[in-house]
Amino acid sequence: MPHVLEAPIVLVPTPCASTAAPKKLLTWRELQAYDPESEPWQKQFSRRYTHHSELMDVLNKVEDVDQSVYRQFSISVTPYMAQLMDRNDPNCPIRLQYLPSFHEQTQPGFATMLDELGEEKDTIPGTSVVHRYPRRVLFLVSNTCAALCRFCTRKRMVSQPSGSVHKDEIEASIDYIASNPNIDDVLLSGGDPLTFTDERLDEILGAIRSRAPHVRFLRIGSRMVVQLPTRVTPELCAVLEKHRVQMVNIHINHHKEITPLLRQRVKMLQKAGVMMGLQTVCLKGVNDSVEVMRELFMQAIEMGVRPYYVYSTDMVEGAHHFIVPHRRMLELYEGLRGWISGPAVPTFIVDGLGGLGKLPIIPSYVREEALPDGSGTTIHCRNYAGKTVEMPGLGQHFSLPTQSN
């Protein structure tokens, strides 16, 4: 008898008790008076700002972009994230990540590269599983996010989505994972898996665990934890613990996003046995500063969240103004390694076009050079402070000097 998820997979939060749509917070005073913990997460989800004009009386100096921006990519900002924005500074690192810019309107940029990372060619037909690496898969379960990042690599999916990944795709995806015993690592992503209700997550995670016992590592990628921390509830934590979700990777780009509320909800996940990882995108004007990155990663490690990746901005439409040059990324890495705690230093990567995969961006601290006489090689080493030493014993064809009798 085939396995079927009984309830349809619909990416719409559970309705609130009241049938009336929650009032949007259209003035600065209303926004500042709002307490994100005063209502269920679903209600705040329904209060999201979906047009920049709704923020005109909330924030000053909001760029009045034209509708061409919306044809490329929608807007979505939770009240909680809006509270973190500087009211008067248009270059606020939180504002830059979420509010549309004239850059998107006048220079759309990489317009033809809709799937620049080649995910679709690696997607198993009839499923939403991207199988690029031998033993791990990306399982795209959702087309919805709590808020939309202007640099999103999956704009083709999450902007004005149909509302869900169809339940038949979810079912076929789980069948594929279950029928491939070599798959031992499954990452749920989207969109954002936490836009599901707890009941939907329980079904999907339970199906993976029961039908694919060979999966050893089950993890979730979510920015909703940061964009709407009240999504993390005791009920959600119970679901994750029940199905042994070993890791949740969250996405933070600036230390202004780390608040007491976020720390509290991260602690709830940790108490449920979930390891916490951090992914960051290197964004011009947001975090392309050694000082900002040092503070971000030290605050992350302080709350028990291990920095994992720093991504180069992907070449997606409307994101060209965020791209940080490769050389600057090397400089940023050099400003971290040796200067902050080792576990706080993430791996810097570029996602290769066309499905090449994640490629590390690493300065050369150790180099091999040929010996002048051609007899082998020697190794030159450099530390974080620029001090150097030669280590010939690590070179090719090295032999200890003979001792005379």
Residue 77, strand partner residues: 49
What is the distance between the alpha carbons of residues 279 and 252, in angstroms, rounded to a whole number? Answer: 7
Q: Is 358 a catalytic residue?
A: yes
Q: Is 282 a catalytic residue?
A: no
Name the catalytic one among 152, 202, 288, 311.
152
Name the catalytic one among 92, 145, 237, 282.
145
Q: Is 149 a catalytic residue?
A: yes
Name the catalytic one among 87, 267, 358, 382.
358
The two three-digit tokens of residue 358, written as one number: 């994640």
Q: Is 314 a catalytic residue?
A: yes
Name the catalytic one among 24, 43, 87, 132.
132
Contact 45, 13 (CB under 8 A): yes
Buried b (16+ CB within 10 A) or exposed e, 193-203: bbbbbbebbbb
Name the catalytic one among 61, 71, 133, 242.
133
Q: Is 136 a catalytic residue?
A: yes
Amino acid, single-letter form, for residue 109: G
Contact 192, 11 (CB under 8 A): no
- Non-local CB neighbours of 290 within 8 Å, separated by 6+ positions: 331, 332, 335, 336
Alpha carbon of residue 161 to chain centroid = 19
Q: Is 306 a catalytic residue?
A: no
Name the catalytic one among 47, 154, 231, 294.
154
What is the distance between the alpha carbons of residues 300 and 379, in angstroms, rounded to a whole number? Answer: 35
Contact 78, 31 (CB under 8 A): no
Element (H, E) at 210: helix 198-211
Q: What is the DSSP string of 128-165?
A: -EE--SSSEEEEE--S--SS--TT-TTHHHHSS--SS-
Q: What angle in degrees, to the nearest 10, is found between the helix axes of 167-178 and 198-211? A: 30
Q: Is 43 a catalytic residue?
A: no
Name the catalytic one among 149, 202, 223, 282.
149
The two three-digit tokens of residue 180, written as one number: 């491939």
- Non-local CB neighbours of 299 within 8 Å, separated by 6+ positions: 255, 258
Q: Length of the chain, please?
A: 405
Element (H, E) at 175: helix 167-178
Count of C-beta atoms within a 10 Å radius of residue 374: 8
Closest to 105 in 3D by CA, of 383, 388, 320:
320
Q: Is 154 a catalytic residue?
A: yes
Name the catalytic one among 43, 136, 167, 209.
136
Contact 77, 55 (CB under 8 A): yes
Contact 49, 206 (CB under 8 A): no
Catalytic annotation, residues: 132-133, 136, 145, 149, 152, 154, 314, 351, 358
